[in-house]
Amino acid sequence: MSSAERLKIFSGTAHRELAEEICRELGQPLGSASVGRFPDGEIDVKINDDIRGADVFIVQPTCPPVNENLVELLLMIDCCLRASSDRITAVIPYFGYARKDRKDEGRVPISAKLCANMISAAGADRVLTIDLHASQIQGFFDIPVDHLYSKPVLCDYFAQLELSRPVVVAPDVGSIRLARAYASSLQASLAIVDKRRHSADATSVENVIGDVAGRDVVMVDDMISTGGSITEAARNVKSKGAERVYLGATHAVLCGSAVEKLAQAPVEEVVVSNTIPVSGEKLIDKIKVRSVAGLLARAIDRIHRSASVSALFSGE
């Protein structure tokens, strides 16, 4: 079997469009898999291609509906393991359940660790992912993790905007490292929003540290979930005299009324990647989607050839 024949890429139902785009980049057909339902709602999976001895990549972000997508991924991994594939890489562009990465109060789970355990226990040999909510989640896996950054993909967009006196703003302290990396690429200064989280969907802004008055703002975060954090922060910098405000986020979770909040926010554009599908009603004019398919395709190609993936990490 040639090296190209050994490479097999499959998709769950979470984001088939991204898997197809990755395959186009690689000049590789998408493998045939069926994902259906038993009458009681249980997920039924079948790989229709011969994968004995194959180097298998399963593309499945664990985005909403996260429980469904996670179980589907686990079943697909188990399926490939039992079909005697040589190696299984779980390609998880968005790793869900990541926000619960420590016991920040008594009697709570560490959900990110449990999900990592389940993925390894199912039989994955490697994980390929993008912008984990906290990079130490890599260590929750006892298998190799290739952790990519979407920054080069989003930064290219901001770089062609001809921003005036740009400042990159971190909407909370957790995003400072990311914002610093964007600021360095865009040759912009840095400011930080002091955000307080009161509950899963309620935040408030206490202060903005740094100079935003009279400047164009690029505000970056790893994800937009309810949209509360980033729209509240955008209003705040605007009230402090910022000129145009652009938002950037890798993962467009966009749950609840996030799209409405973004539509009403005083921002020019919201630039996100396609680690999670953004289509239909979510795709308002203001939202610009940049594809990570090329980045993932290059990483898959390098992993398959046992070549270094670290050359793709420079975007941190």
Phi, psi angles (nearest 5°) of residue 191: -135, 160
Task: State the minimum distance, in angstroms, from the CB of residue 294 to ligand R5P.
Answer: 25
Spell out the SS3 assignment of 189-241. Answer: EEEEEEEEEEECCEEEEEEEECCCCCCCEEEEEEEECCCHHHHHHHHHHHHCC
Q: How far apart are CA 218 and CA 212, in angstroms?
A: 10
Name which of 47 and 249 has its Cβ closer to ligand R5P.
Answer: 249
3-state class (DSSP) for residue 169? strand
- Omega within 30 of 0 (cis) for the link into 277: no
Give, to the nearest 10 degrees, the angle between helix 16-26 and helix 293-304. Answer: 60
Cβ partners under 8 Å of residue 250, min gap 6: 94, 130, 131, 150, 154, 222, 223, 272, 273, 275
Of these residues, 8, 151, 195, 261, which one is catalytic?
195
Q: For residues 146 and 221, which CB has a smaller minimum distance to ligand R5P in the complex?
A: 221
Name the DSSP letter for residue 133. S
172 vs 216, beta carbon nearer ligand R5P: 172
The answer to whether residue 103 is catalytic is: no
Asked whether the beta carbons of 11 and 80 are under 8 A apart, the reply is no
Closer residue to ligand R5P (CB): 249 or 309: 249
- As a whole number of angstroms, the distance between CA 19 and CA 5 comes to 17
Q: Least CB distance from residue 145 to ligand R5P, whole Å?
A: 19
Q: How far is the CB of 140 from ligand R5P (least distance, A)?
A: 17
* Site for ligand R5P, rule CB under 6 A: 171-172, 174-175, 203, 221-229
Cβ proximity to ligand R5P, 51 vs 170, nearer residue:
170
> Measured from the CB of residue 242, what is the shortest distance to ligand R5P in angstroms?
19
The total of other beta-carbon atoms located within 10 Å of residue 84's CB is: 11
Task: Compute the least distance from the CB of residue 255 to ligand R5P, in Å.
Answer: 8
Considering the complex, state which of residue 18 and residue 249 has its C-beta at the smaller distance from ligand R5P.
249
- What is the nearest approach in angstroms of ligand R5P to the Cβ of residue 8? 34
Structure tokens at 114: 């449990």
Between the alpha carbon of residue 274 and those of residues 13, 245, 279, the distances in Å are 15, 21, 10
Residues serving a catalytic function are 195
